Amino acid sequence: DADTWRKEGDIGYIRLPGFNEQTASGLQKAVRDLKKRIGPGIKGYVIDLRNNPGGLLDQAIQVSDDFLTGGEIVSTRGRHPEDTQRYDAKGGDIADGKPIVILINAGTASASEIVSGALQDHKRATVVGMTSFGKGSVQTVIPLGDGGGALRLTTARYYTPSGHSIQAQGIIPDIAVAQGNETNIPK
């Protein structure tokens, strides 16, 4: 885990490779460690979500909440009004309001798009990179009889706080930066 965060001068760099049971607590540990290492002169944090395929919804909500002092994080909307769920941030920002840059690319999907979209919509982070994958659906597994088979049914979609459907467009960066080889077109 040690290679997932490091100090780059007076900036803290944290890479989140996916969203599992340990992601939010790992992020909190990384921020505490970087604050100690860099000291009060810390300028901000880079959260690297490139090629992060996502994972657990509750961890995406917790990671977003860690940097937001309030407001909506994400909502899910289904076919029926009662399927709508909205998740809100509670108080407290572990980064003390310092600037945050989030790195995304075409491999950034699902839970990592929820975090990028929430922090972007609340103007809490600047999102840099390439448009994300666009996997904004919630799947429900419905067991079928005694045979042990199951059906995966897409029952809802994720929306960022501004009402932008992740499924439709992905997260569009504030600053578009191609990754090296995309721009090396021979003259």
Catalytic residue among 65, 112, 116, 121: 121
DSSP state of 70: S
Cα 85 to Cα 77, 159, 178, distances in angstroms: 7, 10, 35
Active site residue 121: yes
| Count of C-beta atoms within a 10 Å radius of residue 109 | 22
Among residues 134, 114, 130, 112, which one has the least CA distance to residue 122? 114
Active site residue 110: yes
Active site residue 33: no
Q: What is the CA 117 to chain-centroid distance, rounded?
A: 7
Are the C-beta atoms of 25 and 31 separated by less than 8 Å? Answer: no
Catalytic residue among 135, 137, 165, 174: 135
Catalytic residue among 64, 110, 112, 132: 110
Hey, which residues are catalytic here? 110, 121, 135
